[in-house]
Amino acid sequence: MDDVQQLTVLNDRFIAACRAGSWSDLNQILSSRFRYVDGVTGSRWEMDRYIEDLRDHPSPELSIDQVVVHLAGDTAGVSARTSNGTGRHHRYLDVYARESGEWKCVQACVWPAESDLVLG
């Protein structure tokens, strides 16, 4: 399997873990250096907050489209648009790094899609 295929599978596993609110599934994909940045506030979340939010807010209706995998050597960005059945969309960017021959997610950020932002 080439890098793009591997990252696509990891992205699908990441989304499946979010649908289920499963930390045990998501944790297998994340680097020990993983950090989450809130795309609304710009704040970095502590891991305990990220884990609690994942577990407390499963998103079984979560769907994605417009998936893009961008490779840059031993780093990669995976981005897509999400929807959770409410008609609202978000975008995310997950940054991966190759660690000991395996792709691991080192950072994630999610923000409201422009069409859902209130500008003014």
- Mean pLDDT score of the chain: 94
pLDDT digits (tens, 9 = 90+) for 87-117: 889 999 999 999 999 999 999 999 998 764 4
**Which residue segments constitute the domains of the chain, with CATH numbers given?**
3-111 (3.10.450.50)
d(CA 99, CA 85): 35
- Overall residue count recorded for the chain in this entry: 120
- Record the pTM: 0.91
Q: For residue 119, what are the contacts with CB-CB under 8 A and spacing of at least 6?
A: none
**pLDDT score of 1:** 85
pLDDT digits (tens, 9 = 90+) for 53-62: 999 999 999 9
**pLDDT score of 86:** 84
Between the alpha carbon of residue 36 and those of residues 48, 85, 89, 98, the distances in Å are 11, 24, 19, 18
Strand partners, 92: 80, 110
